[in-house]
């Protein structure tokens, strides 16, 4: 079948709307009609090259070219066709994307760490998770899907392992948000950071991930939730989602955090800037007190190998630094759980959407994200 999709042909290029051809799903695969897709910063990292493997690595990955690639990994849609052997979803089901697949059988899935599933190893390699062959083409040329999901296309053939059935009464735009940004931010706070009631929490960077880290910290019972972002609009939104204090920079926040805590500093620091750079860790770890936890959620350029961390303080103050993907949650359990909290009025989702766009407006949506005008933009398909 044919579909319209936003395709990236190279670093520092704009998304281009193309007509693509999609082959029918094979064993373990599902054809999805995407209805909503979040404009997540991770797709912007493809444009800037931060998440593009260096060209010299491509032969080792078994690919001739990283591009073209259909963007979109935050999405929700409706199943229109299933291949042989598919059991978890059926035609007509509403589904959430899961940019980290879960096979249920590997060492990580079987020990409750679905976010680390071995099936995610091929995220940046062309072809399907199922058999390595392609289903998406432009004029006969194979096209890769971002995170094997490709929600910037009206239709996509996706492995069953990358889809999670959800109840049909949830707004699909809200389901799309939970599939990445909400789960990653909320989980960074409520799960990976291990926030407990009474904690002082600092969240650095209030975008689609950081705003949900604020929300997760508040729901976990934090006494103080300190949001840091240079954009006033984002600081104001942070207050709506549970922040108790806001600052424009880590430097500005430093003395205030010391004063608020009688010199003890933060119990938890969550790093969620738009792009993570190594030199940011000096201030990030300095904001954290004795016995504290610093969670690094934001994506750094793949080539970055150095970070400014005071190793004496790390040891002598008993601090810990943790990385996280998907908030260290289990997508098959936690996407439905988060949507249940939304249904019960505990988790804000509708309020996260700043503006809705058509697929043709994707570049305008990302411009608004870069300029700090959106917490989250969402593509809505007709």
Which residues are part of the catalytic machinery? Answer: 40, 42, 45, 73, 180
**E-assigned strand segments in 190-306:** 200-204, 224-228, 245-247, 266-271, 288-296
Cβ–Cβ < 8 Å for 337, 170: no
Cβ–Cβ under 8 Å, residues 159 and 129: yes
Tell me the β-bridge partners of 267: none
DSSP string of 198-266?
T-EEEEE--STTHHHHHHHHHHTT-SEEEEE-S-HHHHHHHHHTT-SEEESSHHHHHHHHHHHTTT--E
Residues 7 and 17: their CA atoms lie apart, in Å, by: 6
In the beta sheet, which residues pair with residue 14? none
Report yes or no: 79 and 162 within 8 Å, Cβ to Cβ: no
Phi-psi sector, 51: left (phi>0), alpha (psi -120 to 50), beta: alpha
Neighbour count for residue 120 (Cβ, 10 Å): 24
Question: How many C-beta atoms lie closer than 10 Å to residue 339's C-beta?
Answer: 22
* Cβ(152)–Cβ(146) below 8 Å: yes
């Amino acid at each position: 079948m044919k579909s319209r999709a936003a395709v990236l042909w190279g670093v520092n290029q704009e998304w281009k709307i193309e007509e693509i051809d999609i082959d029918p799903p094979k064993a373990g695969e599902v054809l999805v009609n995407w209805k909503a897709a979040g404009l997540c910063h991770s797709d912007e990292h493809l444009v800037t090259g931060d998440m593009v493997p260096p060209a010299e690595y491509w032969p080792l990955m078994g690919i001739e070219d990283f591009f073209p690639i259909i963007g979109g990994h935050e999405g929700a849609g409706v199943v229109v066709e299933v291949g042989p052997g598919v059991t978890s979803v059926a035609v007509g089901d509403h589904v959430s994307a899961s940019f980290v697949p879960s096979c249920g059988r590997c060492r990580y899935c079987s020990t409750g760490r679905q976010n680390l599933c071995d099936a995610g190893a091929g995220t940046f390699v062309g072809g399907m998770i199922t058999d390595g062959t392609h289903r998406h083409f432009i004029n006969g040329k194979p096209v890769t899907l971002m995170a094997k999901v490709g929600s910037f296309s009206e239709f996509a053939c996706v492995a069953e392992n990358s889809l999670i059935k959800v109840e049909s009464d949830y707004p699909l735009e809200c389901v799309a948000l939970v599939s990445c940004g909400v789960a990653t931010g909320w989980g960074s706070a409520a799960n990976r950071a291990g926030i407990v009631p009474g904690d002082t929490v600092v969240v650095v960077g209030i975008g689609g991930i950081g705003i949900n880290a604020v929300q997760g910290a508040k729901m976990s019972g934090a006494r103080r939730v300190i949001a840091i972002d240079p954009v006033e609009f984002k600081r104001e939104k942070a207050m709506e989602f549970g922040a108790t204090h806001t600052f424009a920079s880590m430097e500005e926040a430093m003395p205030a955090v010391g004063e608020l805590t009688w010199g003890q500093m933060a119990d938890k620091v969550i790093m969620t800037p738009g792009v993570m750079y190594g030199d940011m860790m000096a201030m990030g770890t300095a904001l954290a007190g004795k016995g504290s936890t610093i969670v690094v959620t934001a994506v750094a350029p793949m080539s970055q190998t150095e970070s400014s961390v005071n190793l004496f303080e790390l040891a002598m103050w008993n601090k810990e630094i943790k990385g996280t993907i998907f908030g260290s949650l289990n997508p098959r359990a936690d996407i439905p759980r988060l949507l249940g909290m939304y249904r019960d009025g505990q988790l804000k989702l509708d309020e996260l959407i700043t503006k809705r766009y058509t697929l043709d407006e994707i570049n305008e949506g990302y411009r608004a994200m870069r300029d700090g005008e959106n917490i989250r933009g969402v593509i809505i398909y007709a």
